[in-house]
Chains A and B, each alone.
Chain A
């Protein structure tokens, strides 16, 4: 795939299910690197923040200077960023009832563990009109959802009225984990967004 040449998507690999994200991108023919340092943040065209524990990933980002590096590239260079579950929480401007570290780049408020503890974790079909038919199988694990979104934020998908997938320009977030399924469409959508952004700059 000639048009893929040169595009590099990083996967933040401080903690969480980064390996399955990397595998999914590799399956789409996208070059990836695992990102654990500010230097590696500078080397990618776009970045995925995986699922994991948002408090753990946040603390490690701060401890090793990645929060600033990512924040700068996302706000100043409009680097595309996609977060799943913990990643969505870390991108959000507001987190209900929490002062934990976040990048605060996405104009939404999220509630953590909003569907309950692990025994309430579930799978459901989520219609994402942007991706066409059929719906994606959403895997929700101690998942958050978006309780408030700015006007510039597009709600891409809902589960029982609750917003579980959003896009704001170059920023994409899902409360669920496409990387735990075989459906590559969300990652392909993000890769297309990353490619478009790269060709523009």
Chain B
């Protein structure tokens, strides 16, 4: 039965906003000027933060929610949705971001976790949340907590797409595995994946995640964006990849086009021409396990 009342911030309006972002590129920005460049290039949303992941890596220490004043200035500078990051488990940072009126909160492993056991109970908020995952079980745990959008984590701030690929392949093959199971096997699957049983059943029946499935962490080129789209990502987050490159405007344009025409190599070739230098990139194998952001959250 449909309700006959007017209702704000329903599950459908939360997941609905994620639906509206599909096929698009969400760009990290640290100033209103960068936000305007992102919007002009065709970004579907911006992620407002003080430091992009590449700089968080260099800076070290504890990375926290950004200055609300800076987030508000970015909200005033653009008409597209503005997202902002809260630390894993830091529900007060999320409350502050909600009160600012941001359009999505990213409970993000890019910041230093505030709680090593519990993620935020996202059902308790009016604002929708996006959370990272490395595999299907982690995705379904976050959705169980109320995430309206999932993004595979990748390894932020590296300019290296290898982890994003690993995580997206893990999610997609996890989905295919559940789909092919007999209903009798789903409870054990839920137990092994440590995922809510009802969501495991839903994925078994529909063959897809219950919420939009985006990709993040290491995307630096139009070809990277198209690769993630072809692997099953419904939209792309680009963190350091744009404003840490030599020609952010041109690269932003190119990645937006690549996300739409991800299966048209001739267009990808065209937009990949003369983009200048990509961001400084890191071979993941050179990083200590302690330096891996994707290991944060569980």
Contact = CB atoms under 8 A, between A and B. Distances in A.
A20 B44 contact: no
B256 A142 contact: no
B80 A139 contact: no
Interface in A70-115: 85-86, 98, 112-113
B17 A36 contact: no
A55 B6 contact: no
Nearest to A136: B2
A15 B261 CA distance: 10
Given A20-B19, A122-B13, A53 B24 contact: yes
Contacts of B104: 118
Interface residues of B, number: 44
Nearest to A98: B79
Interface string B44-65: 1100000000000000000000
Given A86-B20, A120-B8, A139 B13 contact: yes
A145 interface: no
A125 interface: yes
A192 interface: no
A98 B80 CA distance: 13
B23 interface: yes
Contacts of B75: 117
B10 interface: yes
Nearest to B260: A14
A16 B79 contact: no
A124 B80 CA distance: 23
B9 A125 contact: no
A119 B128 CA distance: 8
A21 B194 CA distance: 34
Given A52-B44, A56-B42, A119-B127, A180 B16 contact: yes
A200 to B, nearest CB: 33
Contacts of A64: 257
B101 interface: yes
B24 A142 contact: no
Contacts of B103: 117-119, 142
B214 to A, nearest CB: 13
A152 interface: no
A13 B20 CA distance: 12
Contact of B24 (A52, A118, A123): A52
A55 B24 CA distance: 11
Interface string B97-117: 010011110000000000000
B12 interface: yes
A45 interface: no
Interface in B258-272: 259-261
Contacts of A177: 16
Interface string A174-191: 000100110000000000
11 contacts: A15-B44, A15-B259, A20-B19, A51-B19, A63-B42, A118-B103, A118-B104, A121-B9, A125-B2, A141-B20, A180-B12
Interface of B: 2-4, 6-10, 12-14, 16-17, 19-24, 39-45, 75, 79-81, 98, 101-104, 126-128, 253, 256-257, 259-261
The 7 closest A-B pairs by CB, nearest first: A118-B103, A121-B13, A124-B6, A15-B23, A17-B19, A59-B42, A53-B44
